[in-house]
Amino acid sequence: MIKVDSIISENPDMTLDQLVSARKINADQKAQALKKPSLQSQLVQLEEQITQYRKFEAEFTQRHNTDKEELTAAHQKELEELRSQIKPAEPEKPAEPAVPLKESLLSLSRFLRAAAARRMLEDDDSEETKAFEGALLLLYGGDETAVDAMEKLIEGAEEGVTSTEGALLTVTCKKILPVGMKHADPISNRQHYQEDVS
């Protein structure tokens, strides 16, 4: 095709038919020369299409990257919100007793002291004395009932005490300790006890 173009440019005054007649080009070269404008037009169209395709590709790539960035940012935001809502589980603290241990032991010691003081009273057949004896019987049981009885006495439960015969008395666990404390002097009771033992 380059040779045909060169011949045509060298003979600007001759038509393709005249060039064929002069045997400067043959029939196939003439056909190629006639097709050249159409091929050039197709080439221009193809180049324009390629340009458009490249433009579409660039826009698509940019849109894809933008969507990806927005989606990543949205997921990251959701993740941070979930993390802020989920707090690490705190270790469970052991339940503190309603009454501190030392205070509980002090209350139990006072009850036993008061019970000992009640026993020193001669010919005392009052309901308070029966309550003390009944409570002592439960405390000396050495089982779960004894533990329950200790807790009720220490916490001062509003529950009647049973006598040694099993009769429910009007004296409550809450009332029994203050009643006994009226007769419980730690120094004098300790002296009485030592005198009785000796």
- pLDDT tens digits along 164-192: 888 888 888 888 767 656 655 554 444 54
Clarify whether residues 105 and 179 are in a common domain: yes
Question: Tell me, what's the pLDDT at 50?
Answer: 92
Give the number of domains in the chain.
2
Say which range, 23-27, 52-56, 76-80, has the weakest mean pLDDT.
Answer: 23-27
Domain stop point among 85, 119, 146: 85
Clarify whether residues 74 and 111 are in a common domain: no
Model confidence at 88, pLDDT cuts 50, 70, 90, reads: low
Clarify whether residues 81 and 105 are in a common domain: no
Collapsed DSSP state (helix, strand, coil) of residue 161: strand
pLDDT (tens digit, 9 = 90+) per residue, 91-117? 676 666 566 778 878 777 877 887 777
Domain stop point among 36, 51, 85: 85
**Distances in Å between the alpha carbon of 76 and those of 73, 82, 156?**
5, 10, 58
Domain stop point among 57, 85, 113: 85
pTM (2 d.p.): 0.42
- Whole-angstrom Cα distance, residue 39 to residue 31? 12
The H or E element that residue 172 is part of is strand 168-172
Residue with tokens 């008395």: 169
Average pLDDT of the segment spanning 22-41: 81
91 belongs to a structural domain: no
Model confidence at 80: pLDDT above 80: yes
On the CB side of 191, CA atoms within 13 Å amount to 3
Clarify whether residues 172 and 106 are in a common domain: yes
Residue-range definition of the domain harbouring residue 59: 2-85
The DSSP symbol for 158 reads S
93 belongs to a structural domain: no
Residue 100: left (phi > 0), alpha (psi -120 to 50), or beta?
beta
96 belongs to a structural domain: no
92 belongs to a structural domain: no
What is the percent of the chain where pLDDT is above 90? 2
Clarify whether residues 73 and 158 are in a common domain: no
49 belongs to a structural domain: yes
Average pLDDT of the segment spanning 114-143: 78
